[in-house]
């Protein structure tokens, strides 16, 4: 069986700094090579896309020599840390940007959902955008009309279908955008990490729909996600991108295990915070640890784990509270705890020195998903001493049948105040 998607030696190079046509010397050099039938000399220049290192070049490779094939009806997962090149690859496959080198062969029409509201016109109604998206995909009006009621029902926006989409919430946007992409008669569906905007019920509904269209309708799906349970549930095969190149390709479970077990590839479980000048107290690092005090960012819902903050007190300071706040992938605060929880409500007078706090998070507390943490040092009257938003991110994986009674079970409605065990260590 021939491949419906064939990617051969795809590379994408970007110029760093201000966007422009470059210098006159670069243009003349390129022209001189082109008229002689030679390769563009600047394609040989550039570094791998490693965001953790300072670049010495004006060029960087977002993708480098990507090769893979996808068969009809196959669901391919694409995973990797932020900046690995996942979204760039999908944009090339969606033909919204061109590769610098290489070739792509695609058989059939492509429907893409790369970000919330892709292809939507904000001034047009939901109804008009359905027909617009269908027309862009090459559907006839009769084809779109036949699917229209099913799209609206799936999105759950019947009441607002004749309202301009600029008035939709981000959740309504993604509901309608996904419904259009999944139901219209395209052979290939490309989905980036946009389902994180929807609630848990809608995400489950989307995964079920993608599974149905791949098995029942033979639709090919490329699926990018940082949520490993979703990738494992939906995709039989996956590829792992690392710094713009394919690190490993194979069965999804093997690829995920390789990703999570390699610290050089997986996201770091510790974030170092730059020193704050002229502050009485300032944070220096935050880590997520297991019971063996090993840094990690991927946790199962049955794991006990710890959040450790490190900070320096440069001058004696009184009545200080140290707090942490967990937020889900929608940016909603789902859990808040303070060190006074373990001190019967007392705040602390800190002497000059170095400190660590370690907060224990019990097992089966947070549902699977992506989370970020805010950290605060503040007085009881809410005057801020030091704080950092979204300072570290991590994932809870492996969906279980146990539904935690707290945490993010109702993520859009409440923030839970949980009494946690805190430990304070001085002069670390």
Provide the pLDDT for residue 296: 61
Asked if residue 253 and residue 334 are part of one domain, the reply reads: no
CA atoms within 13 A of residue 192's CA, in its CB half-sphere: 19
Percentage of the chain surpassing pLDDT 90? 24
Backbone angles phi, psi at 61, to 5 degrees: -90, 110
Last residue of a domain, one of 230, 261, 292: 261
Q: What is the CATH number of the domain that holds 164?
A: 3.40.50.300
- Max intra-chain CA distance, the chain: 79
Answer yes or no: do 241 and 277 share one domain: no
The answer, yes or no, to whether residue 21 has pLDDT greater than 90, is no
Task: Count CB-CB contacts under 10 A for residue 285.
Answer: 15
Whether residue 227 is found in the same domain as residue 81: yes
Predicted confidence (pLDDT) per residue in 95-130, tens digit: 888 898 899 999 988 888 776 556 788 899 999 999
Is the domain of 63 the same as that of 131?
Answer: yes
- Looking at residue 126, what is its pLDDT? 92
Q: How many structural domains is the chain composed of?
A: 2
Last residue of a domain, one of 234, 261, 288: 261
In this structure, the answer to whether residues 98 and 185 fall within a common structural domain is yes
Higher-confidence residue: 228 or 42?
A: 228
100-138 burial, b for 16+ CB within 10 Å, e for fewer?
bbbeeebeeebbbbbebbbbbeeeebbbbbbbbbbeebe
Q: What was the pLDDT predicted at 412?
A: 40
Q: Are residues 47 and 72 in the same domain?
A: yes
Same domain? 291 vs 192: no
State whether 69 and 180 are in the same domain.
yes
Tokens representing 1 are: 């069986």
Do 108 and 239 fall into the same domain? yes
How many other CB atoms are there within 10 angstroms of residue 370's CB atom?
A: 17
pLDDT at 294: 59
Q: What is the mean pLDDT of residues 18-24?
A: 53
Q: Which has the minimum average pLDDT: 41-50, 100-109, 286-295? A: 41-50
Beta bridge partners of 160: none
According to the model, what pLDDT value does residue 212 have?
85
Structure tokens at 35: 């008229």
CATH of residue 365:
2.70.50.60
Mean pLDDT across the stretch 143-170?
A: 90
**pLDDT of amino acid 297:** 56
Query: Residue 122: what pLDDT?
Result: 87
pTM for this entry? 0.60
Domain that holds residue 298: 270-426
Whether residues 282 and 220 share a domain: the answer is no
For residue 400, name the pLDDT band (cuts at 50, 70, 90). Answer: very low
257 and 274 part of one domain: no
pLDDT at 220: 92
Of 208, 243, 261, which one is at a domain's C-terminal end? 261
pLDDT in tens, 332-352: 888 889 888 777 767 788 999
Same domain, 229 and 87: yes
């Amino acid at each position: 069986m021939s491949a419906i998607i064939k990617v051969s030696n795809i590379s994408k190079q970007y110029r760093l700094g201000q966007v422009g046509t470059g210098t006159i010397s670069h243009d003349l050099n390129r022209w001189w090579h082109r008229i002689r039938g030679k390769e563009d000399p600047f394609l040989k220049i550039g570094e791998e896309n490693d965001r953790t290192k300072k670049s010495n070049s004006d060029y960087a490779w977002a993708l480098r020599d990507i090769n893979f094939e996808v068969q009809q009806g196959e669901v391919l997962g694409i995973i990797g840390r932020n900046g690995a090149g996942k979204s760039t690859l999908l944009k090339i496959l969606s033909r919204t940007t061109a590769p610098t080198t290489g070739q792509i062969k695609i058989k059939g029409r492509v429907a893409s959902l790369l970000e919330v509201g892709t292809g939507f016109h904000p001034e047009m109604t939901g109804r008009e955008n359905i027909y617009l998206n269908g027309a862009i995909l090459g559907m006839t009006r009769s084809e779109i009309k036949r699917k229209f009621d099913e799209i609206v029902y799936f999105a759950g926006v019947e009441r607002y279908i004749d309202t301009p989409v600029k008035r939709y919430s981000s959740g309504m946007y993604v509901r309608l955008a996904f419904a259009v992409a999944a139901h219209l008669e395209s052979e290939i569906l490309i989905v980036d990490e946009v389902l994180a905007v929807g609630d848990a019920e809608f995400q489950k509904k989307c995964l079920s729909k993608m599974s149905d269209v791949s098995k029942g309708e033979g639709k090919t799906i490329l699926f990018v996600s940082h949520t490993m349970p979703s990738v494992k549930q939906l995709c039989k095969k996956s590829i792992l991108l690392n710094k713009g190149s394919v690190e490993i390709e194979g069965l999804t479970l093997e690829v995920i295990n390789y990703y999570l077990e390699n610290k050089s590839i997986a996201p770091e479980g510790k974030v170092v915070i730059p020193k704050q000048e002229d502050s009485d107290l300032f944070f220096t690092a935050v880590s997520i640890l297991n019971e063996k005090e090993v840094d990690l960012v991927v946790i199962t819902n049955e794991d006990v784990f710890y959040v450790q903050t490190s900070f320096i007190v440069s001058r004696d300071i009184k009545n200080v509270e140290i707090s942490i706040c967990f937020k889900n992938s929608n940016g909603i605060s789902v859990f808040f705890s303070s060190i006074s929880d373990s001190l019967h409500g007392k705040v602390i007078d800190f002497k000059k020195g170095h400190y660590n706090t370690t907060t224990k998070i019990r097992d089966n507390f947070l549902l699977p998903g992506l989370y970020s943490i805010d950290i605060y040092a503040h007085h009881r009257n809410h005057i801020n001493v030091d704080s950092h938003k979204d300072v570290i991110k991590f994932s809870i994986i492996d969906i279980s049948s146990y539904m935690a009674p707290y945490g993010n079970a109702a993520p859009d409605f409440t923030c839970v105040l949980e009494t946690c065990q805190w430990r304070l260590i001085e002069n670390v």
